[in-house]
Structure 1
């Protein structure tokens, strides 16, 4: 309660609460009215308080699937905040307007990759709307980097960023536990309650993100935010609050059963802790991990059994799965066969088949396993015998960023995308002696691993955090001329 009282006294917190209230009220309004009200308010919010509005994205993007399931009138909030904050930055440039056109090598290679993929897609018969959709997916979160890297990033802004992430993770963790204990019968939209899940997925916590992998990624950043705040507040201040939440986040993180996120977290943690020799952090995480099993994981799974027996009735009661079972499923013969028929192995095999026929240029954006093909389909799927009903009538994600790049842009695109990643790493490597530099190297490696099992550069939740943090790094290492974009 003391923490809440302290935060309520802060001006920024009050503005944040008003923004949350407007979004909450809009949920219950007719779609058209909600669209107009939310658009007007958040456009104004982003213009008057651009730095704080960027932090509000942490909340909005995290629960966007839930918001749109309830009311599609809230769909423009994220884009409006980003575009209006970008416009505010441009207006703030004044005599420094030329600095707006200063770019690093990773940006030039990124632009070249986007241009190349777009041109090839259009020449291969991909709809122009599909190509634009794909470009937007890649660019919209990069704009966050563009904005933050060119503004003054104070330690206070970073602390606010961490606090917003912690509070968002806390709410979603508590909601996730309710979802788990009630076996998806409480606090979910009807469409989610009655969604048919496989036995493998039924034991996972989906949360307000609508996806266990997305929830796992959010909690990973929530854990990182707690560790950052523990570093900032070296005294007893907030000690128990942060420790309790670390245990809670780890326990909920485990129950997402997100193997890919577990691997990414392990890579990030190992590289950062070894490079910084921060063995105290390793000890803290180990103790919190044990506590999360004892105080969260096992009690909640026991609660599920009790509620199933005495409380809630569901269409099918699935016993809680274990961590070992989740990893064993990866190498299960039936699971491997399924992945070969219509899963990750199938996507990789088909991707190389596409590449073999188009080795130099690929088939262009919007043609294979990306976000655009989910909405618009692809002109090449029928030719390659790729069904459209793999995900219950929807086109598929390749679940591998690299095979998508290989299939869609060929050898030239692979060179451009590799240059994009390596020139980015070069920026971090120059700061390798600093803690922030070591953090970004670990972050970059974890992102690289994530690309093997996620379309990681198209996941808005992940890229939002990546580019906000990357932007803060660029700002604090003075990569660009700083522009005076302040909250009013």
Structure 2
């Protein structure tokens, strides 16, 4: 704690000792208790400081010289370090215990690993060709860590109570981050995640809050206890306030999509429709003017050179840049390397997931990425329909609808790369699958028990019949 406090006061001076001490502690904790290490990782996801190595200066950014991923430098957060050390320590621990071969099969195994191999393959080719530096390899390792984190959760959670404790920890972390976000509102700036330095990322924070709001809403819709519902309603309102003040249009759109999918898949449609209609009616009264201006700015920005027109409407310069980035990838960059792409971070910086995947991994990587996304959708859809525990079924429904929102959020952000979205997402995905596997194991055990009992009863009945015949 002293090192952490010292970092907040003097980050440059203390960052070396802090990183070393943190790393050693994480290794020790992971070896002794994977569960405790995951608790700390969940807390650090939104509540950890960041350190940036290299990259362009603010003057270079303002001058428009930042046009590649590497020119933005390498930003390292405490949760990045924890994720890396936990994953590699877990794999080392499994190896020395000869347990690497008993990792559970999951429905996303093949898609996840094939997509990661495509990323690794194209990046290594670009690396040896001198087109990608170590920065790209760091990203490839980060992708691997997301998948390993998912496997850690699935393979180490074998108890319903533990699964629910992890869920409580995730909601608690979200509430702390939300309260810190609320404290930022009087400053007048867009709300972003805690400890993000001088330049926050409201779009990232908005995507995270949208997903966690969906999780809590899913639980709320499946909970019958009045006290729990009031508590969950308080959580929803607490998350919603900073979400609105992120002023992230991608997040707003993803939120709408998530709510639409709740209407499709939830059994509480009447309640949802009433709430949505009430929200729409109150929005013009409740929403602050700066939020309304932010949304309307998309189409009513003062005319500037280079603005694109969508129909009869001209969109703002920020949206124009994103649309032009998509156009450049499809018409200029992608045709130059259509099969395997330019490697991770080998192209210009794109703040949009889908064109970035296409640019960096080509048509091969894009197909595998879509396959991976589809397998996640199928997993969540089946889980939301099959889980028996009402709380976890609500989590699965919330994850499904929140995932639909993230798919839209990825149009204007690198959603499935960002650690502050992917860590919670992969943990939730692991919790849902762990509970599903646990219920399947219980069901199989009950069937086996019933079969054994049936055999015993049959033998007993046969013995009674034989005794009757003898008599």
TM-score by length of structure 1 reads 0.68
Counterpart of 2:246 (choices 252, 256, 263) is: 256
Counterpart of 2:136 (choices 131, 140, 159) is: 131
Provide, for residues 35-58 of structure 1, a one-character-per-residue CA deviation record: whole Å limited to 9, x for no partner: 232222222222222123223223
Q: Gapped runs of 5+ residues in structure 2?
A: 53-74, 308-314, 388-392, 442-471
Counterpart of 2:206 (choices 213, 216, 235) is: 216
Pair 1:442 & 2:401 matched: yes
Contact 1:26-1:38 at 8 Å conserved across structures: no
Equivalent position of 2:55 in the other structure: none
Alignment of 1:10-159 (within 5 A): 23=4, 27=8, 30-64=14-48, 66-68=49-51, 74=78, 76-90=81-95, 94=98, 97-100=100-103, 104-122=109-127, 124-159=129-164
Contact 1:399-1:453 at 8 Å conserved across structures: yes
Structure 2 CA distance for partners of 1:83 and 1:231, relative to 1, 3 Å: farther
The alignment partner of 1:271 has SS state of: helix
Equivalent position of 1:401 in the other structure: 353
Aligned equivalents of 1:110, 1:216: Cα separation in 2:
27
Contact 1:148-1:471 at 8 Å conserved across structures: yes
Pair 1:177 & 2:182 matched: yes
Structure 2 CA distance for partners of 1:124 and 1:277, relative to 1, 3 Å: farther
Structure 2 CA distance for partners of 1:108 and 1:239, relative to 1, 3 Å: closer
Contact 1:124-1:364 at 8 Å conserved across structures: no
Aligned equivalents of 2:333, 2:165: Cα separation in 1:
46
Aligned equivalents of 2:345, 2:77: Cα separation in 1:
26
Counterpart of 2:366 (choices 414, 418, 429) is: 414
The alignment partner of 2:84 has SS state of: helix
Alignment of 1:265-414 (within 5 A): 265-279=255-269, 282=272, 286=276, 321-323=290-292, 325-332=293-300, 333-334=303-304, 336=315, 338-339=317-318, 343-352=321-330, 353-369=332-348, 396=349, 398-414=350-366
Contact 2:112-2:147 at 8 Å conserved across structures: no
TM-score by length of structure 2 reads 0.70
Counterpart of 1:205 (choices 179, 191, 213) is: 191
Contact 1:213-1:256 at 8 Å conserved across structures: yes
Structure 2 CA distance for partners of 1:79 and 1:442, relative to 1, 3 Å: same
Provide, for residues 117-157 of structure 1, a one-character-per-residue CA deviation record: whole Å limited to 9, x for no partner: 22442365323413312202322222111211222343323
Q: CA RMSD in A?
A: 3.7
Aligned equivalents of 1:404, 1:72: Cα separation in 2:
21
Pair 1:461 & 2:384 matched: no
Q: Gapped runs of 5+ residues in structure 1?
A: 1-19, 184-201, 302-319, 370-395, 483-488
Contact 1:27-1:67 at 8 Å conserved across structures: no
Contact 1:149-1:472 at 8 Å conserved across structures: yes
Aligned equivalents of 1:330, 1:124: Cα separation in 2:
41
Contact 1:399-1:455 at 8 Å conserved across structures: yes
Structure 2 CA distance for partners of 1:216 and 1:355, relative to 1, 3 Å: same
The alignment partner of 2:103 has SS state of: helix
Equivalent position of 2:233 in the other structure: 243
